[in-house]
Amino acid sequence: MADDCIFCKINIGEIPSEKLYQDDDCFVIRDIAPKAPTHLLIIPKQHMTYLTGMTPEFQPVIGAMYKAASLMAVAEGVADAGYRLIVNQRDDAGQEVPHLHMHLLAGRRLGPMG
Ligand code: AMP
């Protein structure tokens, strides 16, 4: 838990948000400003901002995030059509929330990246 972290506050229920999925390591919510018909955020419960400097103890959490993403793609009915997973890190990527998270985008042709 980090003070003034919006995703930590959602994790403990201080800020309301429907959790579509959760396990011991991560939870999933809908993005408040969706960029595609399906736009989910996969968020680790433990506060961490950057992948750089990740400790070995955190590595299983990364696996849990991918597992959650794959389960949610099935649950949202987009697994067969396709989806995109994005992790923004720091300024050049436009990271807005300094708590690690993965975007799942789907539901339309996402086009080439860039
Ligand atoms: P990023 O730019 O990768 O840091 O993405 C942060 C994402 O968090 C943005 O897509 C925001 O729309 C989303 N976001 C910010 N606050 C909330 C919230 N309270 N509930 C859901 N999504 C949020």
Distance in Å, CA 89 to ligand 1 centroid: 13
DSSP summary character for residue 17: -
CA of 33 to the centre of ligand 1 (A): 7
Domains of the chain, residue spans: 6-83+98-106
Half-sphere exposure of 75 (CA within 13 A, CB side): 13
| pLDDT classification of 11: cutoffs 50, 70, 90 | very high
Tell which atom from ligand 1 comes closest to the C-alpha of 31: 22
Q: What is the predicted pLDDT for the residue at 103? A: 98
Is the CA virtual torsion 92, 107, 85, 67 positive or negative? positive
Q: Model confidence at 114, in pLDDT bands (50, 70, 90)?
A: confident
> What would the pLDDT profile of 32-84 be if each residue is shown by its tens digit?
999 999 999 999 999 999 999 899 999 999 999 999 999 999 999 999 999 99
Surface-to-core class of residue 5, CB atoms within 10 Å of its CB (0-12 exposed, 13-18 middle, 19+ buried): middle
Per residue in 21-32, pLDDT (tens digit) is 999 999 999 999
pLDDT band at 1 (very low <50, low <70, confident <90, very high): confident
Which pTM does this prediction carry?
Answer: 0.97
39 is catalytic: no
In angstroms, the Cα distances linking 61 to 16, 43, 112 are 23, 10, 29
User: Architecture of domain 6-83+98-106 in CATH?
Assistant: 2-Layer Sandwich (3.30)
